[in-house]
Structures are given as structure tokens and as C-alpha cells.
Amino acid sequence: MSNFVVRRLLSVIPIAFIVLITVFLLLHIGPGDPAALIAGENATRDQIEAIRERLFLDRPLLEQLFLYLSNVAHLDLGQSVYSGFPVLKLILQRVEPTAVLAVSTLILSVLIAVPMGVWGAWRAGSAIDTFLIVASVVGFSVPVFVIGYVLVDLFALRAGWLPVQGYKPLSSGFWNCLRSITLPSITLSFLFSALVARITRATMLEVLAEDYIRTARAKGANNRRILIVHALKNIGVPVVTVIGTSFAALLGGVVITESVFNIPGMGRLTVDAILTRDYPVVQGVLIVFSFVLIAVNLLVDLSYALFDPRVRQ
């Protein structure tokens, strides 16, 4: 088991290094002078030169890369060109809303999607199975922002049950925070739930067709025992895998959802940085999002040992 964990931890190092190099090259792969693009059309030559010096663009490329990696290693993600504040400080100010939104969406999606997928496979061909398939297609097809505006119209504007937009921090009270994050979480969970439910259903159908399930039925095991004891524990690896791999889609949806509901999170910070050509902030957010994905996938890999003892070898 310890060797398995060590191998997985060591595999993260080259992935993180490739991510950092890729993010660094974002300033250099496009045409034109990066400093001029950041400064804008009306910038003077002195302003462009100041940006070039601040971002070390006046140095050789390899020296720029070394300085960039050294700064990141010391948790220095640079300074915002637009506001002048450290990028890390701006990100830390926006972490809580995004983390609360992502965690609440993940919990809500798993609580809804996994039981629906299992039940749909158990009752394959029934009305609930048909409903699951239709709901999954709708979840995949309808854009997140459309779902968000529909939910705002129904539950905020018409019913008045929930706030239209904004975010209440955890310091204002758990229920105030939960109330402000309910509509965004439901909106974002549509896509995530659809994906997890479809994979859960497909995996459960394959498991229920296995020989050991037929053997358990032949021995007189009741349906509850077959479903919980024999079937559920064998869908763990595929379901956890799809939850981990689709986390990237969840983070992508966070950017849109935060813009729709005016949540001051990292997604909104990303949009504002792109609109103002604030490349250091964009790079910093990309690094954070990438490292979160790396951590999630590492946890998914480590969780395989809980579901399948063979991977520990």
C-alpha cells in the first residue's frame, strides 16, 4: 500500500512541472509583443517598457522561465497589472465563494446522481429509467447560463424564495451562506449530475449482468442484498473516476455560474482579468485551478485502493 501511495505522489511532480511550463508559455505563444497587448492600444512606449520589465519580458526566455518557476516555488505569482496588488492576495480573497460553490455542487450532484443512476439501472426500461435518460440529455444539452436564468426567474423573481444574485460569506452564518449559494449550486449541478448519473447507470447495468450477480440470485439472495452488498461496491472505481475527471467541467462551469449570479469568486476574477488583459492574474488562476485538478485526480487514484485491493500491489 505504501509503495502505491509513493508512486502516485511521485507521478504528480512531472505533471505539475508541465503545467507550470504551459502556463508560462501562454504569454509567448500568441503573435505580437505580450507587453503591448497587456498595455492596450493607447499605451505609451514608456508604459509598455515598464510592463516588460515588471514581467521580466526583457530577459532571455530561459531566464524568464527560471525566474517564473523560482517565484512560484516561493508562492509569488506576480502582481496584477490592472490593480497592482499581489496575484496571490487577489486569489485568496476569492477562494471561499468558489470553494463553497464547488463543494456544495459536488455534494448535491453525488447525492442526486448516484442513487438515480443505480435506480435507473435496477429498473431498466421503466418510467424512472426513461426519465433519467431524458434528464441526462437535457443536462448535457442546455447551457449552464440558460439554466441559471430560468432558475432565477422561477425561484427568485417570481417566487421570491431565494436571492437573485450575490454571495454571503460563511462568517455571516451558515444558513445565510447556504441560501445565497443554493441557486448557483443547483444550476451547476445539472451538468455534473447528468454526467455522473449516466456513467453510474451504464456501470451498474454491466455489473448486474455479471455471473456473480446471477449466482447470488440463484442462491436466494434478496434484491436489497444483491444491490447493496454485491453490486454497489463494484461500481466504485468507475463512478469515482468520472467524478474526478469531470471536475474540470465543474470548474469551467464555475466561471459561467459566478458571472450569472454575480458571485465574487475565482471564476469572476478570471473573467475580469481576461477583459482587462491582466495576464499575471490569468496565469495565477490557471495555476491554482490546474493544481486543484491534479490534487483531485491524485485523491481519485488513491481512492482506488479502497474499492479494488488489486491496485495496491
Q: Say what the pLDDT of residue 311 is.
A: 58
Q: Which residues of 192-213 are buried (b: 16+ CB within 10 A; e: fewer)?
A: bbbbbbbbbbbbbbebbeeeeb
42 near 27, Cβ under 8 Å? no
pLDDT for the residue 78: 81
Residues 279 and 40 sit within 8 Å (Cβ to Cβ):
no
Q: How many residues does the chain have?
A: 313
Instruction: Give me the amino acid identity at 55.
Output: L
Q: Assign 26 to helix, strand or coil.
A: coil
User: How many CB atoms sit inside 10 A of residue 306's CB?
Assistant: 13
Angstrom distance (rounded) from CA 223 to CA 109: 26
Which residues in the chain come in under a pLDDT of 70? 1-2, 4, 30-34, 37, 39-41, 307-313
Cβ partners under 8 Å of residue 197, min gap 6: 112, 113, 114, 116, 117, 120, 132, 135, 136
Q: What is the pLDDT of residue 294?
A: 87
pTM of the model: 0.81
The strand ranges marked E within the chain are none
Q: Half-sphere exposure of residue 86, counting CA atoms within 13 Å on the CB side?
A: 9
CA distance linking residue 59 with residue 53, whole number of Å:
8
Chain center to CA of 290: 9
CATH superfamily, domain at 87-312: MetI-like (1.10.3720.10)
Tens of pLDDT, residue by residue over 183-213, are 888 888 887 888 888 888 888 888 877 777 7
